[in-house]
Each structure stands twice: as C-alpha cells, then as structure tokens.
Structure 1
Amino acid sequence: MEITINQQQHQFEDLCSVTQMLAIVLSGEAKGIAVAVNQTIITKSTWQTHLLKDGDQVMLIKATQGG
C-alpha cells in the first residue's frame, strides 16, 4: 500500500497503525510529534488502533522550542 507522509510517497507491505508507521519512518521515539491523517488530527491515545489505508495523506508535525 502507498501512503504519502509529508508529501513523500512511502510503500508499506501490509496495513499498519500510526504507531507502526512512526516506528518505521522515524526509526526512533516519536516524542513531540503531532499526526494528522487526511487533514484530521489523530490523538496519541488512538495511534495504536488507527489503521492507515492505501492512499492516506499523513502529516507529521514536530514540536520545536524557541522564542
């Protein structure tokens, strides 16, 4: 299946949850990350159960410090 993540195409063999996708794409801890799928924010409490589908558009937003 093909998913677009931050405007880049990614191929996945099987259905995967947001948590699984983050582990693959970020190769590490997803701390300070917000996730939107098809322009809808996905709360962190549902990352493990929210399954991504072929053609989904995912946006990852990383919190930064500054001022």
Structure 2
Amino acid sequence: MKVMINGVAHEVAEDMTVGQAVRTLTASATGVAVAVNDEVVTRGAWETTALRDSDRVEVLTAVQGG
C-alpha cells in the first residue's frame, strides 16, 4: 500500500504501524511527534495504530539550536 510520510510517497507493508513508520525516518526516541491525517497520535498508541492505504503521516522532530 502507499502512504505519504512527510510529503513523500512510500510503498509500505499492509501491516505497518505508526511506530514502524517513525523508525524509517529517525532513530531518536525522544522529541518526536506524529500526526496521521492531521490527527495527533500519542506515543503510547504508535505500536497499535495501523496505517491504511493513502494515509498522510507527518513525523516532526524537535531541533535545538542557539
């Protein structure tokens, strides 16, 4: 199935979860927020929230600078 992750089309497995999608983009375990189809997915739900064909996933990471 195809999903959009941060605006880029990805072909992914039918059973991919939000958590798996996050790990394709970053190894960081902190400072990450995710929304699927404009709805925030809490970290506790990442591994149980399955993606569906044509979902739009936005993975945001906190950046610190100065």
Distance 1:64 1:27, change over 3 A: closer
CA deviation profile, 1:16-54 (whole Å, cap 9, x unmatched): 11112222x226234311000000010001101111100
Structure 2 unaligned segments of length 5 or more: list them: none
Match of 1:36 in 2: 35
Identity of aligned residues (%): 38
The answer to whether the 8 A contact 1:22-1:30 is kept is no
TM-score by length of 1: 0.85
| Structure with the largest fraction of strand | 1
4+ runs of 1 displaced by more than 6 Å? Answer: none
Match of 1:13 in 2: 13
TM-score by length of 2: 0.86
How many residue pairs get matched?
Answer: 66
Structure 1 unaligned segments of length 5 or more: list them: none
Query: How far apart, CA to CA, are the structure 2 residues paired with 1:6 and 1:20?
Result: 14
